[in-house]
Amino acid sequence: MPTPRKWSNVAVAMQSILAVAVTATAISKATEGVVTAPNTLVAGDYVVAVNIQGMRQIDDRIFRVKSPSASAFSLEGEDTTLFDTFSSGTFQKITFGTSITTATTISPSGGEFDMIDTTTIHVSQRSQMPGLPSAMKYDMDQIWDVSDAGLKAMKSASDAQAKRAFLFTFGVGGQIMAFNGYVGYSGAPGGSSQQMVTSKATITCNGTPTYYAS
C-alpha cells in the first residue's frame, strides 16, 4: 500500500551553477545506462543531459550520478535498454545552490495526453490511443519579498528566459523529483484586502521529470 504524503516539509531547490560540459562518447543500453565521458563526478551528483543526439529519451533531463569513475558514470535508476542509439551529446554537473522558501501554495497542471483516433472503417465504435502529454506546470503563490534571494534568482531566470534545473525533496531523506524547466516570475505583488501580499510564479517542465525513492 502506498504511503500518503502531504505538501509539508518540502524542499525546493533551483540550479545556481552549471559546470563546464563534458562530452560523452557512448551511453550503454542497459537496465542502468552507463555514460562514457571523462569526469570528476562523485556519487549523488546531479547532471543535465544537453544536446543529446540519437538517445533522444534522455535529452534535457536531470539524472543522479551513480558508480562514477574517471571515465564513466551510471544514470541512477534509468533503464536505457529500449532507448534509441546514442550518437553525441554532453553532460553538465548541476549545483542546486538556490533554495525557494517562499511558496505558500502549489498547483500542478498539464500532463494530459492528446488522444489519437485509431478508428478504421471496419468497426462500429471509435478507438483511441494516447499521443503526447502536454507540458507539466506548477503555479505557486509566493510570499512577496523583493530582498529574498530565491525570488531574485527566479526573477533573473524569468527575465533571461533561461532553463533551470529544479529538485523537489519531500521531507528529509524523502522522495525526490528532478526536472529542467522555465520560470515565469514578474515579481508583481498581489493578494486580497487585509491578507498577506503574495506574488505568482510558474515553473514549466521542459522534458520528463526523473523520480527517486530517496
Percent of the chain with pLDDT over 90: 94
Share the mean pLDDT of the chain. 96
pLDDT digits (tens, 9 = 90+) for 78-125: 999 999 999 999 999 999 999 999 999 999 999 999 999 999 999 999
HEC profile of the chain: CCCCCCCCCEEEEECCEECCCEECCEECCCCCCEEECCCCCCCCCEEEEEEEECCHHHCCCEEEEECCCCCEEEECCCCCCCCCCCCEEEEEEEECCEEECCEEEEEEECCCEEEEECCCCCCCCCCEEEEEECCCEEEEEEECCCCCHHHHHHHHHHHHCCEEEEEEEECCCCCEEEEEEEEEECCCCECCCCCCCEEEEEEEECCCCEEECC
For CATH 2.40.30.180, list the domain ranges present in the chain: 17-95
Domain spanning 98-212: CATH 3.40.50: no
Q: Are 66 and 212 in contact (CB under 8 A)?
A: no
pTM over the 0.95 mark: no
pLDDT digits (tens, 9 = 90+) for 168-178: 999 988 999 99
Q: What is the CATH number of domain 17-95?
A: 2.40.30.180
Cell, residue 8: 509539508
